Chain A
Amino acid sequence: MNSFGIDNVITEKANVELTDIEGGVKVTFCGDIDVQNPEPIFVPFFEKIHNKIIETGIKYAELDFSKLTFLNSSGIKTLIKWITKVTPLPADKKYKFKIIANHEITWQETSLKMLSMLAPGLITIEVK
């Protein structure tokens, strides 16, 4: 369990885990996210994390996709919804993302790179 008290998301084919790390939080994605409508599963989870980050004043969220083998475009949309919650915030409330991608999984570099273009200056990408 993480210090936010937020339950991890476990679906038939994916596991998304929230953990505390020094100076922030880490969300680790494993498996395949390819359900027909991932919004009811992931949007509330990301919203809870976002609200707690704002409440606690944390400035850093790490999103580790290195063990995620597939993410459909509906899943990408849930991430877009999270990231675009941060861009309109005043400077003192904004926090930064670091995305960790796996170079052996082709879609990760291309798809995840586009997320950084949605919020210039807020997202860095590390490709392992």
Chain B
Amino acid sequence: MELFKNVQNGFIEMIFGPRWTYIATVRTFLQNFLAITLADNNWADVISMAASELLENAVKYASDEGTKICVEHRKEENKLYLVVENFTYQENIAILRSEIDKINSGDPTEVYLKKMQEAALRTDGGSQLGLARIRYESNADISMSVEGDLVKVTVIFDLK
């Protein structure tokens, strides 16, 4: 990473090992930082919650060292891009792809309610609620891309 002049879109990038204890630290930092950057505590709360949920997934399903989070405020679009990357196994990638398809398949409230009903019956320790919660609470656009065993989840918040 290098410093350059005339920064149009400020961003934060962090790379760390997949350790659960880092998640709360990153969440708190983002909440405080975004509250100042966006001058909006509500968006700061929602985006830091979303970052926390994505990082939980990244840490839970990591197959290797290296978790990356990038938060970029694109002022000209009035949008904020939250991107979380991690290495994982192909079976996890397939599950994630299926989950994102489901999350994007309907009304955010209805999808979240359905996921909550399904969560009540789950006994495997997972909730699979995080992505549905993000979409319901923010109406953000959620997508993913894959390069080998590297998975990248992008959440775009429309700040208008």
Interface set of A (CB-CB < 8 Å, partner B): 13, 32, 34, 36-37, 39, 70, 72-74, 76-77, 80-81, 84, 105-107, 110-111, 114-115, 117-118
Contacts of B56 in A (CB 8 A): 36, 72-74
**Interface size class, chain B:** 20 to 34
Identify the closest chain A residue to B125 (Cβ): A37
Contacts of A34 in B (CB 8 A): 23-24, 27, 52
Q: Is the CB of B49 within 8 A of A74?
A: no
Decide if the interface of chain B is mainly helix, strand, loop or mixed.
helix
Apart from A73-B129, A106-B46, 10 more pairs, CB < 8 Å? A34-B27, A70-B27, A70-B49, A72-B130, A73-B53, A74-B56, A74-B125, A74-B129, A80-B116, A115-B116
Q: Is the CB of B120 within 8 A of A76?
A: no
Cβ contact of A107, chosen from B45, B126, B127, cutoff 8 A:
B45
Q: Is the CB of B113 within 8 A of A77?
A: no
Q: Is the CB of B52 within 8 A of A111?
A: no
Decide if the interface of chain A is mainly helix, strand, loop or mixed.
helix
Q: Is the CB of B116 within 8 A of A114?
A: yes
| Chain A CB within 8 A of B133 CB | yes
Contacts of B24 in A (CB 8 A): 13, 32, 34, 70
Contacts of B129 in A (CB 8 A): 73-74, 76-77
Q: Is the CB of B113 within 8 A of A117?
A: yes
Q: Is the CB of B41 within 8 A of A106?
A: yes
